[in-house]
Amino acid sequence: MTMEEAEKILVVQNLKKYFKTTFGTVKAVDDISFDVRFGETLGLVGESGSGKSTTGYLTMGIYTPTAGKILFKGQDVSVHALKRPKHIKKDMSMVFQDPASSLNPSKTIGDIVGLPLKIHGMVNSSSEFIEKVAELLETVELPPERFMHRRPGDLGGGEKQAVAIARAIATSPSFVVLDEPTSALDVSIQAKIIKILMKLQQELKLSYLFITHDLSLMRNVASRVAIMYLAKIYEYAPARLFFHNPLHPYTKMLLSSVPVLTDEEEALKPRDVKSTGEVSSAINPPPGCRFHPRCPFATNICKVKEPEFVLTEPGHYVACHLYTEKS
């Protein structure tokens, strides 16, 4: 293993996931590659239908890849979660988008948070179970005396998501997939959940794959960002570069749609690309660059040839004929 490989907790290579339906084959994820380094947050950003949540499910083993590899700490885990070794399942966790649907309404908060402890044999007595669950609830700023015996239906959206986060860290994982963890919450509650997630990352040395449609959220949260559109990744760079030097027209379109509060932020927004059109069908994606039907800079080559990734500056990759033709 090289030094560069040793820095990566997760490596995804040429990953594909196709679903067969009565209408045809849905190419939900179509030949993508990326990595997550130890202790960092990688943001995976795209509109609804881009395939980013499917990517998260593949990473966790909820889906099995059609093709490609997923390496976790150097070990191939490109199989369904049921076939993964127990220590791998213990070391990888996930927070889902909608906490209401991911929490069993008939169970108490204590039972929900503590279930992973029982599954992985991490407690030896009922008193130890209660103690560890209380510690987990305190970690996500939910006083155990108030929440231990309540049920999900008694909680607000932010409180439910805090419970989901407590459950996700119960087994002391090193890697967590965050699938739109704040999108179903009010803005004020979003900020609190993000603060909790960032605090936990520092304290527990967590690595995050943060899936979201909100590129502006990545400015202060992610180390690097991958932009996904219609099952493919089209730009991949350190987060700061997306705001100061976005390259792909789709990235610029996303940034042009970001709401801002100040004139300085407004001045940073791209002017040459506006949000237009809808995401094409994943059953019958456009040939060539899949963004070309919505791209104001599309030329004939964009309609027939898929662009390859080029390195434009250290760590900054883009798949766009505007740059491949220059290279």
The set of residues, in sequence order, having a beta carbon less than 8 Å from that of 155 and lying 6+ positions away, is 109, 147, 163
Closest CA to 181 of 72, 119, 137, 166: 166
**Looking at residue 264, what is its pLDDT?**
56
- Contact status, residue 198 vs residue 140, Cβ threshold 8 Å: no
Residues 89 and 173: their CA atoms lie apart, in Å, by 9
Q: Which of 209, 196, 208, 204 is nearest to 162 (CA)?
A: 196
- At 104-153, the pLDDT tens digits run 999 999 999 999 999 999 999 999 999 999 999 999 999 999 999 999 99
How many Å apart are CA 290 and CA 230, to the nearest integer?
7
For residue 327, the model assigns a pLDDT of 45
Token readout for 76 is: 């191939």
Domain 3-324 falls in which CATH fold? Rossmann fold (3.40.50)
Query: Looking at residue 17, what is its pLDDT?
Result: 98
Low-confidence ranges of the chain (pLDDT < 50): 3, 261, 327
Question: Using CA atoms, how far apart are residues 144 and 233, in angstroms rounded to an integer?
Answer: 42
Q: Is the model's pTM score more than 0.85?
A: yes
Q: Give the rounded distance of the alpha carbon of 231 from its chain centre.
A: 14
Domain boundaries, the chain: 3-324
